[in-house]
Structure 1
Amino acid sequence: MDVVLRDVHDSDLPVFFRQMNDPEALWTAAFTPKDPADREAFDAHWKRVRASADVLRTILVDGDVVGSAAVYGEPGEREVTYWVDRAYWGRGVATAALRGLLAEVPERPLYARAAADNTGSRRVLEKCGFRLTSTATGFANARGEEIDEVVMTLRG
């Protein structure tokens, strides 16, 4: 499997929208938009982030769009995020993509958040050098309730 990151193209957005509407992926990610099926809100979000200084990448596997990865936020508080199509879970794609993103963005520290029960995402973050630094609770739109989350940090 050849995992590559590239800039986000307009043609990627319909794929991202479809991926963001997978019920199992939404539940697992937990912290999602209020209404992932709202295409207008989705388009407005992507227009805003693509105009920002955030680092946004499309994840390709063997040339196919399988997700996205990003570093966003204010300096000193920047976070990583990624979304990989469920068909590619457990195959090392998220880990390879995050490693590639971290190589592009040398600033540290970087932070990440995940639902405490999202063991797959926690494992990806740990493989990439992130360490648990705190816990919190937050409202998870995809679950309709407050849940526990982990905050992880990647230091120099």
Structure 2
Amino acid sequence: MTQTQRTHAPPLRDIPDTLRGKRINALTLTPPPETLQSMFQFRSWHSDDAPVYKRMLDDPALWQFMPEDYPAPMTLDLAQDLIALSQHATHHKVRAVLWNGQIVGQMRLEWAQGATPPASGEISYWLGRAYWGQGLSTRMVALFAYRCFSNFPALQHLHARIHHENTPSLRIIHKLGFQPTPEPDPHTPDWGQFVLPRGAGPDWAALAGDGA
């Protein structure tokens, strides 16, 4: 092999964090239609979002099926602290969801282990009570799941934990192609475990015209 034929691996610092030590699945993803993608914006929380964040999360009904306890009272200072945590923690990606220019909820992707994106992660969401029943949740979760797979080539599976009595969320993940895992976690018997492989997902055309 001549000098011009010899190839070298790029320095580690030049390899994106999403690729370091990971097996990349080149499976082509089917993108959502543009009309569906344009429905929502996903961005980091800002410190000046704290009043909206506090108002939306200061609602016991919103916490009924969350794995964390309701942090009552939800103060403005606590809202600021939680926003700061979402901005700086490396074990997850947290995004405020905007619809028609208004914050309506949150999407989160948490890495299964460590700070560098591994092969799997857990997806979760909440939607403010004022926006329930308007057909936003399914599309919001579907688009965020697509973004996760699109932005992180090493990501092979998305996982979700849903309480057995949370009928709306169970309906959403089934519609999006999540499948129950064979063995539930014995430490959380009231919560079902579901997985979405890379490349699986919803019928975008049907979802674009769906009201749920």
**TM-score for the superposition, normalised by structure 1:** 0.79
In 2: Cα distance, 1:136 partner to 1:18 partner: 33
What's the counterpart of residue 84 of structure 2? Answer: 47
In 2: Cα distance, 1:89 partner to 1:135 partner: 29
Superposed, 1:76-115 pairs within 5 Å as 76-106=119-149, 107-115=155-163
Answer 1 or 2: which has greater strand percent: 1
In 1: Cα distance, 2:184 partner to 2:55 partner: 30
What's the counterpart of residue 142 of structure 1? Answer: none
On the 8 A contact 1:21/1:36 being kept in 2, the answer is: yes
Unaligned runs of 5+ in 1: 140-146
Structure 1 pair 77–42 and aligned structure 2 pair: CA distance change class (3 A)? farther
Superposed, 1:1-156 pairs within 5 Å as 2-27=39-64, 29-33=65-69, 35-39=71-75, 40-53=77-90, 54-73=92-111, 74=113, 75-106=118-149, 107-133=155-181, 134-136=183-185, 148-156=190-198
Let me know the Cα RMSD of the aligned residues. 2.5
On the 8 A contact 1:78/1:110 being kept in 2, the answer is: yes
Which has the bigger relative contact order, CA under 8 A and spacing at least 6? 1
**Which range is displaced more, 99-108 or 111-120?**
99-108
Find the structure with the greater CA-based Rg. Answer: 2
Unaligned runs of 5+ in 2: 1-35, 150-154, 199-212
In 1: Cα distance, 2:79 partner to 2:109 partner: 18
Which runs of structure 1 show a deviation greater than 6 angstroms over 4 or more consecutive aligned residues? none
Counting matched residue pairs gives 148
**TM-score for the superposition, normalised by structure 2:** 0.60
On the 8 A contact 1:56/1:69 being kept in 2, the answer is: yes
How much does 1:12 deviate?
A: 2.5
SS in 2 for 1:135: coil
Q: CA deviation digits over 1:129-152, x for unaligned, max 9? A: 21111434667xxxxxxx711111
